[in-house]
Amino acid sequence: MTLATTQHEVTYLEAISEALDEEMTRDEQVFLLGEDIGPYGGAFRVTAGFQKKYGAWRVLDTPLSESGFVGAAIGAAMMGMRPVVEMQFADFISCAFDQITEMAAKNHYRWGAAVPLVIRAPYGGGVHGGPFHSACPEAWFFHTPGLKIVAPSTAYDAKGLLKASIRDNNPVIYLEHKFLYRRMKEVLPSEDYIVPIGKAEVKRVGSDISLITYGAMVPLALEAAELLEKEGIDLEVVDLRTLLPLDTEMILESVRKTSKAIVLHEDTKTGGIGAEISALLAEYCFGSLDGPIIRIAAPDTPVPYSPPLEEFFLPKVDDVLTAARQLAAY
């Protein structure tokens, strides 16, 4: 794998791989660790060929001990390295919960220590992974001061946000959606770029309803918006891109313009990020609202393995259409 020299089309997965490759070339303090990321190239082949290129000390295969290798990465980060940890599946991040929330997140508050650590977490459903390989764990960490959380929806954002995360001096949980890996393609610029952490983006400008979302729900929302346009409903789609810290300014600006809001996420409904956004809108946008805030999310169950049940479980385009029609008519 080599650095890009011309504009080129890549998948979401390839964009992640390119970002890692370019940052490892740019900065010798960047190294990778995780399960099966060496000769095998990782569960999803993101790091294929990396160990041969950079050596076993910069692409470290680890034991099956998330708490152990995340702890090691935190120590390395505090000593000036820039580790990038791969969780084979985001679900397994719970095994390192103490290390992330008690050590990585709090060290700067405790005594000013920088912890430039990135944890790559392949998350989400739609690939029939079942209840132990399909989780959306963002809400677990959203409540933890000291962490940053990003969730790109496009190949461009995936590359730019990963580069920004690696260069950041704070611990970042980088949520990469498995469903998007080989489904999203985009022509990327040849020059080096980052996508700033903490900045949302309006992926589609609209005037009637603001739909606030992230990750794999962004293309779903855009598909719904095209269908609603034929019915005379103009949907604005706001892609959060960063979940912690939220771009509150852009969220409020969009909803004050449209006066109506839908919050969409794949994670289960109760206690999700959509609840916090709804609370923000109720607190700061109440006078601008012309209808109820509608949340669209998965039901409060584990992710089913059965393909028909998983399809029922995950938010769908029809859910957005129904909510938007209801809100437009309010």
HSE (CB half, 13 Å, CA atoms) of 123?
A: 28
Residue 83, strand partner residues = 31
- The first and second tokens of residue 298, run together, are 């998965």
Is residue 293 classed exposed, middle or buried when 0-12, 13-18 and 19+ CB atoms within 10 A define those classes? buried
Q: Which residues contact 284 (CB under 8 A, 6 or more apart)?
A: 248, 252
DSSP output for 158-183 = HHHHHHHHHH-SS-EEEEEEGGGTTT
- Active centre residues (catalytic): 133
What phi and psi, each to the nearest 5 degrees, are found at residue 79? -95, 10
> For residue 213, which of 185, 241, 175 has the smallest C-alpha distance?
241
